[in-house]
Structure 1
């Protein structure tokens, strides 16, 4: 639309720990190149906010209030990995930075595609699906209470965890899944354990089926979580959009990421109605930090997902084209034999990003 021809975005940067300082700048370089190739150079004003070890040293917290306040003034942000297991106490025992951000901004939809890349080694290269994971409730203790945790120990020998499922949360994640399916192959699969967890995941299944009636053009089926792992191993190409609760979605997205190649190429966004956070599915990999060999594919493709989300929210065809150019640029680089050591190649982090930029500039 004409009103969006010169639109500028203010996007937050949270570099993170471990390999974050290597892979996040690579994603920024690629995103800027994609916007330039799409006809809007300088479309993003990147604003960095402290997080992780750096924030602990400077501000006494891995996710300071000033960072949360700053993010509230952006259109979205790019989150690098955090190494919360290595934080000093009391920070290590508290909700980690990504969890804090998701909870603070009610980022209820965790969307994780799994798609094989031509030229890359994959267990199931035909994989092309998306996990749509409810991100605020379910069985995860850090998301099942307003304050505190959903895990507790009434005695030293008894540990109890609670899961929370509500109709509004299920309805909104279900609509997210069906709307996404309409942009893909119009097939939604509900994953649950309603035969045992009848009131909780049974409610998830039932409410999602109610929402399905609003989308008569989308095919719907459902599977128990244990059966679904087998189906994904045997026939991942048969699935399109998979919607499920929090913990099941976390598990299945790691599985499908490996089927498609590795977690090093597995992107994601965490989205609410008005804001979204791009975040690779993998961790901080402190064992290879500083060596320049980390795979930036996942965070680069996560940045593309963020641009696609911005395109939808703001009706911005230039952002959509920039996202398409990133996707095609990554595919072209890998197909040409450029990859990092985890995928069997020899390219450094910076060399891979350079190859993606070159492919974008060539219009591939």
Structure 2
């Protein structure tokens, strides 16, 4: 058994997390669950958005699953997700995007993964006021950061049998920073001759993803572009409510729902646990429990195909709990 830090989060977070843990326990996932808080609920009860007890737990377990959290607007608080990524050096943001049966979407045959560098670029937050009318933000790209994210992406492509890699950049304009990222990623790619590599300028990548997303298997890109492309691709397959995410470093891994905390429907048994459950599937794959991961995914797809099972946001008649019941029923005993 391995210890797992469970962060329910805010809004609908505790509801969907409870159902995901139900499914994990049903398949006898090899976890001992340690629950800790982050977000507004932690701020209200413990006075901190990301309490030290939560940090200590993640440092001990090295593995966490996290529901959506709310960062208060206008209070000067740094995003919890950004804080965690920097604190635990979670350099790889991994977002698989695939069409699911029963989910109305723009494209019905998408199956790609975005691997986004997670610690540098403009998101490092290096800013200053040059004068009272001029703000400046520094885009920092390093060889180390570029090399390790490219290697992660190529290893993932190799492991998952995806033969096409797209390096997304804007090196035609930012010749030094994006130029370095592109050069280093290409150098890594040369070590994987079985994978076909192309480089795509980010604005063209947006157009290509909208017009023909089937041409992409794995995309590796910088922090800002990856953030934008991840949401664009989620829009192709039905939105953030059906897309999982992971933040992975050399020593720690945090799997999360990438959608918001939806406080307007919190406590109403309406929330859709699909995204967080798929993040749990990624977590099982990460720890080598592929059979359990496959079983959950198969049951989830079957439940999504049933209009009586899936939740109202997907045009179904189910609730948070009854949808999970349907998944567990399809898992059997």
In the alignment, structure 2 segments of 5+ residues that lack a partner are none
In 2, distance between residues paired with 1:212 and 1:186? Answer: 12
Partner of 2:91: 108
Provide closer, same or farther for how the CA distance between residues 22 and 162 of structure 1 changes in structure 2, counting only shifts above 3 A.
Answer: same
In 2, distance between residues paired with 1:266 and 1:307? Answer: 16
Shift of residue 125, structure 1, vs aligned partner: 1.1
In the alignment, structure 1 segments of 5+ residues that lack a partner are 1-7, 35-40, 312-318
SS at match of 1:346: coil
Partner of 1:23: 16
State which of 274, 299, 318 in structure 2 corresponds to 1:347.
Answer: 318
Partner of 1:297: 274
**Would you say how many aligned residue pairs link Structure 1 and Structure 2?**
331
Partner of 2:191: 214
Partner of 1:201: 178
SS at match of 1:124: coil
In 2, distance between residues paired with 1:51 and 1:120? Answer: 30
- TM-score of the two chains, using structure 2 as the length reference: 0.96
SS at match of 2:96: strand
SS at match of 1:78: strand
Q: Deviations over 1:261-313 (max 9, x none)?
A: 221001011001222101112111122212211111000000110111111xx
Partner of 2:58: 71
Q: Does 1:163 align with 2:134?
A: no
Partner of 2:298: 328
8 Å contact kept, 1:20–1:284: yes
Runs (4 or more) in structure 1 with deviation over 3 Å come to: none
- TM-score of the two chains, using structure 1 as the length reference: 0.88
In 1, distance between residues paired with 2:240 and 2:111? Answer: 15
| Superposed CA RMSD | 1.4
Matched ranges for 1:1-364 at <5 A: 8-34=1-27, 41=28, 43-85=30-72, 92-140=75-123, 144=124, 149-182=125-158, 183-311=160-288, 319-337=289-307, 338-361=309-332
8 Å contact kept, 2:40–2:72: no
In 2, distance between residues paired with 1:174 and 1:361? Answer: 40
Shift of residue 335, structure 1, vs aligned partner: 1.5
In 1, distance between residues paired with 2:29 and 2:281? Answer: 16
8 Å contact kept, 2:91–2:117: yes
